[in-house]
């Protein structure tokens, strides 16, 4: 995960009244969980907004009135109409304890099966993983250079350094589907039978024209 440093201040007044005052001052009320005790604090709204409104997962190095804390975002609350950031819950991280996060899975390379006309399907675009906070990557990558027509990769096939995937082992992550073929109607089917009279109609039309009586002089 990318490391980001932010400085905050311990909240002197909790509750809705204190939260409203903080938002007027362009600050975001926050709570830190997972440590010896919960800690209520606030952060500047502008720098936090830039980080919250992205799909990236960050490891925050928080400086709360001189107290250094490593944490990650656990939950966030937005205004229902303005989409303004109202509140953030952080979870304290420990370098020696595994953390659980959801990372995006990006496909790299070009599949031989796709070059042959197959369609690349990715049912799982994000994966839940666990690992030590300092080694969890920003995102996950899988190389599809070996995927041919009809090949599929399941969670059990994935190996990423430093993290373990927590999805079901049998879930399909990516596959190369066979191209659909346009099937011709089999002989004797209504579609095939319907085409036969059209050809016979031309043949029957010729004798009819020949049998037409000559015009009287």
Domain boundaries, the chain: 2-93, 100-177
114 exposure class (CB count in 10 Å sphere: 0-12, 13-18, 19+): middle
Task: Report the alpha-carbon distance of residue 46 to residue 81 in Å, rounded.
Answer: 19
Q: What are 116-119's contacts with CB under 8 Å, separation 24+?
A: 116/148, 116/149, 117/149, 117/179, 118/148, 118/149, 118/150, 118/176, 118/177, 118/178, 118/179, 119/176, 119/177, 119/179
Span between the terminal Cα atoms of the chain, in Å: 101
119: Cα within 13 Å, side-chain hemisphere: 6
- In which element (H, E) is residue 4 found? strand 2-10
Alpha helices in 44-104 (DSSP H): 45-52
Identify the CATH assignment for 2-93 out of 2.40.240.10, 3.60.15.10, 3.40.718.10, 3.40.1210.10.
2.40.240.10
Identify the H or E element spanning 30. Answer: strand 27-33
- Note the pLDDT tens digit of each residue in 70-121: 999 999 999 999 999 999 999 999 999 999 999 999 999 999 999 999 999 9
pLDDT classification of 201: cutoffs 50, 70, 90: very low
More confident residue, 209 or 34: 34
d(CA 137, CA 97): 16
pTM listed for this prediction:
0.71
How confident is the model over 134-182, as pLDDT tens digits? 999 999 999 999 999 999 999 999 999 999 999 999 999 999 998 876 4
Burial class (CB in 10 A: 0-12, 13-18, 19+), 112: middle
- With H, G, I as helix, E, B as strand and everything else as coil, classify residue 25: coil
Match domain 100-177 to its CATH number in 1.10.10.10, 2.60.120.10, 3.90.1010.10, 2.170.120.20.
2.170.120.20
């Amino acid at each position: 995960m990318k490391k980001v440093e932010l400085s905050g201040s311990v909240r002197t007044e909790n509750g809705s009244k204190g939260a409203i005052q903080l938002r007027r001052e362009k600050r975001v009320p926050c709570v830190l969980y997972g440590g010896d005790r919960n800690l209520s604090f606030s952060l500047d709204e502008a720098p936090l907004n830039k980080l919250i409104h992205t799909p990236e997962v960050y490891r925050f190095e928080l400086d709360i009135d001189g107290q250094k804390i490593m944490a990650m975002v656990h939950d966030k609350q937005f205004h229902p109409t303005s989409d303004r950031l109202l509140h953030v819950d952080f979870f304290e991280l420990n370098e020696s304890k595994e953390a659980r996060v959801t990372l995006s899975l990006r496909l790299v390379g070009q599949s031989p099966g796709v070059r042959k006309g197959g369609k690349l399907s990715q049912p799982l675009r994000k994966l839940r993983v666990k690992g030590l906070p300092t080694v969890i990557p920003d995102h996950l990558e899988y190389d599809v250079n070996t995927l041919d027509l009809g090949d599929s990769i399941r969670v059990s096939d994935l190996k990423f350094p430093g993290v373990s995937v927590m999805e079901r082992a049998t879930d399909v992550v990516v596959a190369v589907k066979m191209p659909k073929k346009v099937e011709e109607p089999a002989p004797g089917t209504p579609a095939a039978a319907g085409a036969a009279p059209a050809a016979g109609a031309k043949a029957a039309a010729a004798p009819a024209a020949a049998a037409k009586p000559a015009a009287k002089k």
